Each structure stands twice: as C-alpha cells, then as structure tokens.
Amino acid sequence: MKLLEKLSSLAGKYMAVIVLVIAALSLFVPVSFSWIKTSYINPLLMVVMFGMGLTLKPEDFKLVLSRPGDVIIGFLAQFILMPLIAFLLVKIFNLPTELAIGVILVGTCPGGT
C-alpha cells in the first residue's frame, strides 16, 4: 500500500511536468510515439484521468458540495452558453452544413477526447 501511496504522491506532484515533457517530446520527436495505435487512446486516457483523480482530496469534494452555485454556473456554461456561442459562430461566419454540424457538436460536448 505504501508503494501505491508513493506513486500517487509522485504522480500528483509531477503530473503537469510529465504531461509537458511528453507533449514536447511528441512535438519534437513524433516518431517516438508512432507505436501508439488509435486503439490505445481510451486506455491511455483512462490512465491520465486516473492520475488526475489521484490528486483529488476529500476537501475538494466538500468544496464542490459547499458551493453548488459555482457548479450550476459551470453546468449552464457548458450545456447552454457554449452550444449557443457555437451556433452564433456558425451563423456569423455562414459556415457550410458539414462544418456547422462539427462546430456545434464541439461546442456541445464537454472537454476531453
């Protein structure tokens, strides 16, 4: 159990550094990641999300529950404001149907893959 706690602590402490190093490496030496197939994306995303989850503390959940207004604002921004902005951009730039659908879908979906 101590090993898991130590790994969790290290991952939480250095997650941003790890992500930046891997991003820089993939940018400057893309062949180093050419072995990763698209079928690996979901499992790798699960590892990243698990690592991010390890950084959460019980106090973080208490904070969310103690400030429901902030959660509601985030929810409304994600599922009402962002799709509305995407729709307005489609109308303003008079995008073709295919692009319009893509922009609205991206505006509607929460961040992630």
Q: Which helix (H) or strand (E) holds 3?
A: helix 2-28
Give residue 35's pLDDT. 83
* 33, two tokens: 């990641």
Give residue 65's pLDDT. 92
Q: Could you list the pLDDT tens digit for every one of the 113 residues in the chain? A: 788 888 888 888 898 899 899 999 999 998 988 887 888 888 988 988 888 888 889 999 999 899 999 999 999 999 999 999 999 999 999 999 999 999 999 998 887 55
**pTM of the model as a whole:** 0.55
Give residue 101's pLDDT. 95
Helices (H), the chain: 2-28, 41-54, 58-66, 68-76, 82-92, 97-108
